[in-house]
Amino acid sequence: MKINAKLVASFGTVLVTTLVVFGRISYSTFTESAHMASDKIISLQSSEIIYHTTKSLRKEVGNIEQQLSLYMQVNACSLGSDKESKDLLEGFAKHDPLFRSISLSPRRGNLPPPEFQTWMDEFEANHFEPFLTRRGDDLLLLWPTQTPQGAAFFVITLDPAYFAAKLSSSMTNSGYLNVSGAAIVLTSHGKPLLEPVLQDPQKTLARDILTGVDIDALAEHVEDKGEYFIYRPADTLFDADLTMVVPKKFNQDNLVKLKNRILAAMLIVAWISVWIMLVIAYRISSPIRKLSKITKDIIEFNYTTEMEIPPSNDEIGELAENFENMRQKIKTLVTEDPLTQVYNRRFVMHLFDLAVLKASASNTPLCCIMMDIDFFKKVNDTYGHQGGDAVLMAVGKVLKEISRDYDTPARYGGEEFLCLLPETTLPDAVAIAERIRMAVKGLTVVFGEIELRCTVSLGVAEYVVGRAESTDEIIRDADNALYQAKENGRDQVVVCRQEPNAVVCPAGEEGATV
């Protein structure tokens, strides 16, 4: 049987067991409390908000009715025509932050038909019910009342922010929802009266929660909308529809039992799974260990280790074949710079250390060249990084063409290159550096419709026993020579020579070999 079949059989058993246990526990827990509790809590919350808000407003407006009626009886004033009665109403508005303005009217003409046509018809038929609506930027409450002169109605302009705060306070004080994120959407005939009222002002209602939801079509039951519940009770708030939006996380406490049962079930399943996986792991561990050994050799830049896994028709054999192909590709990826196609810094430093050991043991010459593209930052600033990349690729191509088979040209970093020259004397290294300088100087880089030209500065250093006999010391000397080449005016080769008492990087004429 192939490994794939073994895995399917073993883990399929674990999966079926997990689904049976998890499904049974989830079903019993949810049927016991979760959904029913959600419906009841949201329904109670909505009813209490409507009750408290209605009770509060009736109390406040009722106080105004009593004082106005008493004033009109004492002064025998005409309805709505007495200046002092108007001042009295405005005084009520000024002393209550909920009211922006209050007026009293017996006439239909004070309100624009047909906006309140239905309500006015009911009002004139002695059907007394307050009506909450919006006109422009104003939130209006039309409140029918009785005066000594007959039926009339208040036109009360409410402060939307204060009214929203009253609704938010009702949500917070009800005690049913102990989680921030709940919101109220207040509408009249499908049109919003307020921005969504948030239980916690620091939280924001997800913009897409009500997208595509027909509030008028919501039934009197809690509807599941992803991470939220939405509920619209049958009761209204002064003829306005109240819709509750509640995040599901409010009911997390009711799901603690489910979590504990799931954890217990998973521990049982995990115990069984461990023994099944141990048997499978034992059978596939041997080839994996062999692959691990090859991986360690790759990390050490050793790509000569042969694959010791015998050919087979199962997945292990296929894995071994694919791994060998991957090993060959990794060799390219970890040794080459992807942009310039020369070696990268990591690999050349590894080869440099090996070359220094060989030069020390066999007493053979060793040199290196540090090279930097002149004014490269100006190229990037003028033509962008794409222009800079074009120059880097062209220079990399030159290095590959000029280098000998046993040389190692590499991108050291940014616009800086290094050439490792094993078994090369200093005069030969200088000659190679000069050839590179001339080749780059004569190079034309085509970038779109633009032709770019560049020059390079080069520093040459050699392995010297007692002075520069480590990788860092040789690179340091080459780097010092490169710095001197730039100080001398760029586009030249400078050699770091070993004098009796010092290391000297002399100045030279442009293009001269020093």
Catalytic residue IDs: 415
| Cα 438 to Cα 419: distance, rounded to the nearest angstrom | 16
Q: What is the DSSP letter of 343?
A: B
Using the structure block, give the residue that is written with the tokens 């026993």.
465
Three-point CA angle 463, 299, 333, nearest 5°? 85
H or E segment to which residue 306 belongs: none
Count of beta carbons in the 10 Å neighbourhood of residue 50: 19
| Cα 287 to Cα 321: distance, rounded to the nearest angstrom | 12
| Cα 411 to Cα 417: distance, rounded to the nearest angstrom | 4
Question: CB–CB of 462/473 below 8 Å?
Answer: no
| Cα 238 to Cα 235: distance, rounded to the nearest angstrom | 9
Strand duo 416-422 + 223-225: pairing: unpaired
The letter for the amino acid at 300 is E
Residue 199's Cα: distance from chain center in Å?
A: 27
Q: Which of 124, 67, 61, 45 is nearest to 98 (CA)?
A: 61
| Cα 474 to Cα 365: distance, rounded to the nearest angstrom | 12
Question: CB–CB of 406/423 below 8 Å?
Answer: yes
Q: DSSP letters along 216-253, please?
A: GG--SS-EEETTEEEE--S--BTTBEEEEEEEGGGGGG
| Cα 454 to Cα 465: distance, rounded to the nearest angstrom | 36
Burial class (CB in 10 A: 0-12, 13-18, 19+), 67: middle
Q: Which of 338, 258, 237, 323 is nearest to 32 (CA)?
A: 258
- Phi-psi domain of 387 (left: phi exceeds 0; alpha: psi -120 through 50; beta: other): alpha
| Cα 84 to Cα 95: distance, rounded to the nearest angstrom | 16
Tell me the three state secondary structure of residue 120.
Answer: helix
Count of beta carbons in the 10 Å neighbourhood of residue 207: 8
Tell me the three state secondary structure of residue 426.
Answer: helix
Tell me the three state secondary structure of residue 332.
Answer: helix
Question: CB–CB of 340/395 below 8 Å?
Answer: yes
